[in-house]
Amino acid sequence: MSGLRERKKAKTHAAIQEHALRLFREQGYEATTVEQIAAAADVSQSTFFRYFPSKEDVVLHDAFDPILFASFGEQPAELTPIQALRASMAEVFGALTPEELALERQREELILSVPELRARMLDDLAGTIREVAQVLAKRVGRSPDELPVRAFAGAVIGAGIAVWLTSAEGIETTDYINQFDAAMAYLDTGLHL
């Protein structure tokens, strides 16, 4: 029963975000209200707020992080952390439909174009680094609080941000995935220039 409940919650979560992104594209971020998003997703405003604490959160929520973390944890033990991350990215993003990739691209562009979203995303980076450090530490049998683990997590996130910001210059989503893979391969060399 909980499996069905979790799937239904995930479906509602995705539907709210999808309708919000459509409305932001059609009307603009500022002009779109939570009331309009809830109506478009056929949920109440209280339901909206159960899933997303704010309008910002509906954009900033990255549905792929938990999937990537799970995939990372399931990669063969003989892979290095970078190899496991590259395999996870290929597995998760390679399975997306063109529509799902386009929706993710739209979400990323919105974050870059709306100053408060961009600032909030940057504020949330410490939490993201902690999350990456936790899944990395579990894989390598170390503490997520160790400096090498946190530095590694920060380097991965930093490389991802560098690629993501260059995507604002017109790199397509599929190219983003290839660029991220290239950035991870570069990290694997020890960052030698």
Cα angle: 133, vertex 81, 124; to 5 degrees: 30
Mean pLDDT (whole number) for 68-85: 89
What is the identity of the amino acid at 45? Answer: Q
Tell me which of 2.70.150.10, 1.10.357.10, 3.90.870.40, 1.10.3720.10 is the CATH number of domain 62-193: 1.10.357.10
Mean pLDDT (whole number) for 137-163: 89
Give how far the C-alpha of residue 65 lies from the chain's centroid of Cα atoms, to the nearest Å: 5
164 token code pair: 């993501």
Please state the pTM of the whole predicted model: 0.77
Of residues 134 and 5, which shows the higher confidence score? 134
- CATH number for the region 1-54 comes to 1.10.10.60
Q: Which of 70, 137, 162, 61 is nearest to 104 (CA)?
A: 61
d(CA 90, CA 60): 22
